[in-house]
Amino acid sequence: MSGILVIFHLCVAVVMIHSVSSSSLLLNAIENSIEREKRAITTTIECQVPQNLEALFTELNRDINASKFLIYQNATQPASLVKNELSENEVYISQNTHGNKVCPPTLDSFTTDDPLWVRSTCPWYYDPEELGSNYYPAHVPQAKCKCNTCIGSTGRTKCERITTQVRVLKKTGCVGGFYTYENELRVVNVGCTCAR
């Protein structure tokens, strides 16, 4: 009889061990799931834009005037024109003054004090390209020619865009509470010129 009792106790012990190990596995799965959710919430809440993002962007584009591409964040109304600098105000002004987006018949009404994009024989305006919130900068100005042919030409010339390349930064993740970025090369139209 004692042998049967020992076997019974062993069976109970095996069942208890199996229950404990199943519960342990279930608890581990729940803990892992909670930890994943905490990491996702923490990443969303605590991930910040690094303070040196503008400096990084400027360094990537040190061979060009990168400040010309840090524009048009919230321009909604005209403000003073900044000479020789493409600011958010100038983007707005290029679209909403000086004949808007229409090709002028002559350059007679413009002076040497007007910006180059107005007094060129191939005038242009800036149209911000929306890159999205995962990019820095989020908007990049693209020059668009107002005319097909050069103002004052005999028709043998045409207006063509001048392009350059600029490196923008794209979010790739979050490490240590800060967004990480990779650079991406973009072609940017910076103006228009008269060409044969």
Q: Once rounded to an integer, what is the mean pLDDT over residues 77-90?
A: 43
Lateral strand order in the sheet of 135-136: 135-136, 158-175, 178-195
| Rounded alpha-carbon distances, angstroms, from residue 119 to 141, 166, 168, 179 | 19, 25, 30, 42
* Domains of the chain, each with CATH number or no CATH: 65-164+187-195 (2.10.90)
Residue 149 half-sphere exposure toward CB, CA atoms < 13 A: 8
- Evaluate whether 146 touches 177 at the Cβ level (below 8 Å): no
For residue range 136-195, what is the model confidence (pLDDT) as tens digits?
A: 988 888 999 999 999 988 778 999 999 988 899 999 999 999 999 999 999 999 899 999
Sign of CA dihedral 163, 167, 172, 174: negative
CA distance 124 to 130: 19
In 10 A of CB 134, how many CB atoms? 12
pLDDT score at 10: 39
pLDDT score at 46: 87
CA distance 132 to 126: 18
pLDDT score at 149: 93
Rounded to 5 degrees, φ, ψ at 139 are -130, 140
- Evaluate whether 174 touches 47 at the Cβ level (below 8 Å): yes
Q: Which of 123 and 1 is assigned the larger pLDDT?
A: 123
Confidence of residue 82 (pLDDT cuts 50, 70, 90): very low
- Its pTM stands at 0.62
pLDDT score at 72: 36
Amino acid letter, residue 79: A
pLDDT score at 160: 96
pLDDT score at 194: 94
Amino acid letter, residue 8: F
For residue range 23-80, what is the model confidence (pLDDT) as tens digits?
A: 667 667 767 766 666 565 544 568 999 998 888 888 888 877 644 544 433 333 333 3
pLDDT score at 37: 61
For residue range 96-151, what is the model confidence (pLDDT) as tens digits?
A: 665 578 888 888 878 888 888 888 999 998 888 899 999 998 888 899 999 999 99
